[in-house]
Structure 1
Amino acid sequence: METQDFVITHAELSNKEGMSLQRGMNYRPGDKEYSIFLMSVSPDAPYNDGFDAENKKLFYEGEDVSKREKAQPKEHDQPFFTKTGKRTNNGKFFKIAEDYKLGRRNKPEQIKVYEKIKNNVWSDKGFFYLTDAKYEHNDRENRKTFKFVLEPVSSHTGLSQEEYEDFEFSRRIPTEIKRIVWERDEGKCAKCGSKENLHFDHLIPFSKGGSSLDPKNIQVLCGKHNLQKSDKIL
């Protein structure tokens, strides 16, 4: 059975994690053993997040200064420290990435990633490792911004890390394809019309040559029909 993109509302996301998540970057909320990033690659998204399929990486932009401090946050460098000298979320995660690169911690920070597809529609992307961070001048915006680099966590038994990364990024359904499929299937299971426990599913599995880039090969299924389909394939 192939890994699926689970579709949930923001309320379900918060319930799943046991807390209401409002910020994009969340360092080990509720004393969890992992951190949480909320991301979006929509054209109108406030930050420049994205996937690099060729190099098998996810790029996550840091947070802007609060509007309470600056009326036009996009005109200012993304902050490393607060006014009181404490590290911002940017600063916390930058230090975590640096500590890993410099050998001051044995393992990279594990990040659970949720991607916003459209208003109140989110996709559970699974776990990634925070392996690098940069704080550099953004020529397009004429300011300094953070860029956090995340790589997939290998969890497929029998696959090497490189094999898993190739598999994961090749089978990833682009956000725009998800939007097209979601609208076409009217946000419900293509088989029974259920709006509960939904997934984006390949009609022809990626492992059998199915495409992640063709909306005709993607459908929305509920958990019941996804399992029935998997049983038939197996």
Structure 2
Amino acid sequence: MNENMHGAALVDRVIERVREHGWPTTDAPDVTEPVPLAPEVIDRLRLPGGRPLPPSLRRWLAFDSSWFSSVGWYEDPHAPVFGDRGLGATAEWMYGGGGPMVDSFTEFERLLPAVCLPLVGGSDSRRLLYLGSPDSTGEYPVLVTDIDDLPYVAVMYPGLDVYLADLAEVVDLDFDTYTSLAEDPEYGPRMREHAENTALGADGLELQDLYELELEDGDGDGDGDE
């Protein structure tokens, strides 16, 4: 594993890019006046459920807390309090309302019961940080939801670190499909950890796949992380 391609080291490259040039995409809110958090404030922060912040988030918050406030994680960038929405409520927030397709993401909460935090990117698809089980680097997976055909959920990035790096275009990633990073030489191992931890598998699940998985499981609640 190339440590410069993961965690805080990778986020350092993102920060350098954003500080000098801004985001290369209009999807992302600008960071014109960063709001850095002091180390002691970051040390006190905990994710919902009392879990520690991933290395990527700690490093980014030392640079700026306003961006995630703009994205919808919390109201006050000077004193963050993370939201506690599940997948269904997060999807409704990201898509700007409900409807049969969007409402169906609540069904996935039987497999994915942890808190979700919204991210930017996509139209029929959206991205979110899923605070289930961290991988071996301490990072939580970024999931993709899609409503183009059937409601669909998959692991798209192995962590906030890689998501931010892709958004800032400091890494060159090949996305033939949402789950292409599962075969990436650098990020594949972490992707496979999350595919197993979430029970979404390497290819993700459509709503009908979720029902079939629950029937195979035999107890109606899947085997996802708690």
Structure with the higher fraction of residues in strand conformation: 1
> Whose radius of gyration is greater, 1 or 2?
1
TM above 0.5, one fold? no
Structure 2 length-normalised TM? 0.28
